[in-house]
């Protein structure tokens, strides 16, 4: 089982994982049933998404078909099957935000990052998503950056702030 082939996450979008890590995560579920979603959550927390190999391990460990595991995981919008960026930018396209111009922010971000909503940049730095409402319509239009509601609405500035922060952290 030990065939570690961890690639550097930044270089390529296809992330390979060590299946041993998945086995370790699943250890606590040994002999239990009805824990599939918990296991999926744990794996996603570890890797940021659900790598295909991890689903195979889960199916194997829980004696379920891969089709079933994928079926369950894909049911929830919360689970992702492709790697996600370090920074998650969510643009609200709910009614209030929409009428106050969130479409323009989204288009600006798409242009700035060179990706479409729902995609992740090749360097795995940014994931751009839309949400339907985050519950603070008074602040519309709202952009949520890494779980924080951002005051900034200029796409260029949103990105550059994140990039600068990233560099500071790197130093």
At 118, give phi and psi (nearest 5°): 95, -5
| Residue 164 found at the interface with another protein (CB under 8 A) | no
Please report, to the nearest 10 degrees, the dihedral formed by the alpha carbons of residues 76, 79, 81, 83 taken in order: 150
Distance CA 1, CA 27 (A): 15
- Contact window for another protein (CB under 8 A) among 63-71, 99-107, 116-124, 142-150: 63-71
Give the chain's radius of gyration (CA, Å).
Answer: 18
| Number of other residues whose CB lies within 10 A of the CB of residue 14 | 9
Binding residues for another protein, how many (CB under 8 A)? 12
**In this structure, are strands 87-92 and 126-131 parallel, antiparallel, or unpaired?**
parallel
Of the residues 19, 22, 26, 70, which one makes contact with another protein according to CB under 8 A: 70
39 versus 55: smaller Cβ distance to another protein: 55
Q: Of 21 and 60, which has the nearer Cβ to another protein?
A: 60
Residues 3-62 that bind another protein (CB under 8 A): 52, 55
Q: Which residues bind another protein (CB under 8 A)?
A: 52, 55, 65-71, 74-75, 81
């Amino acid at each position: 089982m030990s065939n570690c082939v961890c690639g550097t996450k930044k270089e390529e979008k296809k992330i390979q994982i060590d299946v041993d890590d998945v086995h370790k995560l699943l250890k606590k579920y040994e002999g239990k049933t009805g824990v599939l979603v918990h296991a999926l959550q744990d794996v996603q927390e570890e890797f940021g998404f659900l790598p295909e190999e991890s689903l195979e391990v889960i199916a194997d460990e829980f004696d379920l078909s891969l089709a079933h595991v994928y079926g369950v995981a894909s049911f929830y919008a919360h689970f992702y099957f492709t790697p996600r960026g370090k920074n998650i930018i969510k643009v609200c396209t709910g009614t209030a935000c929409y009428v106050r111009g969130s479409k323009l922010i989204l288009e600006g971000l798409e242009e700035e990052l060179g990706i479409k909503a729902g995609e992740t940049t090749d360097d795995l730095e940014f994931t751009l998503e839309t949400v339907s409402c985050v519950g603070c319509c008074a602040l519309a239009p709202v952009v949520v950056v890494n779980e924080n509601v951002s005051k900034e609405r200029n796409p260029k500035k949103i990105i550059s702030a994140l990039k600068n922060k990233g560099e500071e952290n790197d130093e």
